[in-house]
Amino acid sequence: MPGLLLRNGRLWRTGAADVLVRDGVLVEIGRGLDPGDAEVLDLGGRLVLPGLVEAHCHLDKTLFGGPWRPHSAGPALADRIADERVRRAELGLPDPAHVTALLETMAVAGTTHVRTHTDVCTGTGLTGVEVVRDVAARLAGRITVEQVAFPQSGILTDPGTAGLLERAIGLGVTAVGGIDPAGLDRDPVRHLDVVFGLAARHGVRIDLHLHDPGSLGVFELELIIERTRATGLAGRVTVSHAYALAQADAATQDRLAAGLADAGITITTAAIFDFPVPPLKRLREAGVTVACGHDDIRDLWSPFGSGDLLERAMHLAYRSTFRRDEDIELALEAVTFGGARTLGLDGYGLVEGTSADLVVVDAETPAHAVVTRPPRDLVLKAGRVVHRGTVLRGRGSSRPRPPGTAAP
């Protein structure tokens, strides 16, 4: 395959350069590179970001691409769980068509890697894991999907789930999940013992949902830190949501942040609705990696969500009350490098030798890209052109249009 030379790019963090892509890799980055037989694309000074990394979503639940479905559950968590139990069968979920539509939308919006939490429970068994696996296999050249086996109904409260989680690993799932070890599963120590036991035994990663609030959630974070140290799983454990971390006082946040950094545990947030957002700046200053994802996208839990990670970064920056460019960039870091570290991606980045996963946008600074979420002018996944906007097809301008206006 002939290569691709991207001329006059502006690489995030390193500045103006040409980028030569060959065999799926950024083989050379510099000024005035010789294209040889490579196709040449002039980026006209556009901003080049590494591929966006969706660190937390639920592909198996989505209704994306289908008709509008007004939210049908009552206000309480129990209402949503009951509603999902009834309606997912009625709506034929998980539906490969919806999963496909969402992944395709994510890909053209610049997402190159996805971690999705797939329901594993005695009610639905491993259906979701198989559906997502099959769709992901078909789209493998455009977007990479990693599944977490997610015990949505609990592990101890839904006996038989531990065995299903283990079987999910046999089906290619690379991480084991958990959910509110105390609040939902009623026994934090045994819940975590199952999760950490599976991870240690099978060499998979851990990504736990933790919505439990206040001092209960803080206690569970302490348990997770202790177990990560004891099992030698540093760098392979993520806590998603971690509302308790957002709610804690500053001294507790500092103590937990030091513990998380030391144990090599990352935090994944979604910044949805009015739910607490962990203190991104404080965590980064303490050396904790923070990733970001959409959580629910157009499903029975939430009618919101677009699949555009720049929009998600906007929500994270906004909820963090970030105004300065360097702060807003922390949100962009969460949907790129933070996600890559959480998923353990090899060869991720914008330096020579990394995989050619990148997104080109017309923005003056990285923060500007988060604020305006401009059209994606070019998306490469492992060197393959997944999306090429108007301007780079030489057919006009892709300058951001005023919001709410149709294309000319």
DSSP 43-105: -TT-EEEEPEEEEEE-GGG--TTS------S-SSHHHHHHHHHHHHHHTTSS-HHHHHHHHHH
387 contacts a second copy (rule: CB under 8 A): yes
Least CB distance to a second copy at residue 45 (A): 14
Give the residue, chosen from 1, 13, 71, 190, that forms a contact with a second copy under the rule CB under 8 A. 71
> How buried is residue 125: exposed, middle or buried, by Cβ count under 10 Å (0-12/13-18/19+)?
middle
Least CB distance to a second copy at residue 17 (A): 21
Least CB distance to a second copy at residue 313 (A): 12
Q: Which helix (H) or strand (E) holds 239?
A: strand 237-241
365 contacts a second copy (rule: CB under 8 A): yes
Which tokens is 113 given?
A: 């890697």
Which of positions 257-296 make contact with a second copy (CB under 8 A)?
272-275, 277
Least CB distance to a second copy at residue 372 (A): 8
371 contacts a second copy (rule: CB under 8 A): yes
| Upper half-sphere CA count for residue 142 (Cβ side, 13 Å) | 19
The residues near 331 (Cβ < 8 Å, ≥ 6 apart) are 280, 292, 313, 314, 316, 317, 320, 322, 370
Which lies closer to a second copy via its Cβ, residue 193 or residue 311? Answer: 311
Which tokens is 73 given?
A: 């559950």
Which of positions 289-328 make contact with a second copy (CB under 8 A)?
302-304, 306-308, 310-311, 314, 318-321, 323-325, 328
Which lies closer to a second copy via its Cβ, residue 251 or residue 321? Answer: 321
Residue 272 near residue 295 (C-beta atoms within 8 A): yes
Least CB distance to a second copy at residue 320 (A): 7
Which lies closer to a second copy via its Cβ, residue 4 or residue 300? Answer: 300
27: how many CB neighbours lie within 10 A of its CB?
Answer: 17
| Upper half-sphere CA count for residue 69 (Cβ side, 13 Å) | 22
109 contacts a second copy (rule: CB under 8 A): yes
Which lies closer to a second copy via its Cβ, residue 71 or residue 138? Answer: 71
Position 397: which residue type? S
* Residues of the shown chain interacting with a second copy in the complex, contacts defined by CB under 8 A: 67-68, 70-71, 73, 104-105, 108-110, 272-275, 277, 302-304, 306-308, 310-311, 314, 318-321, 323-325, 328, 363-365, 367-368, 371-373, 375-377, 387, 389-391, 398, 401-408
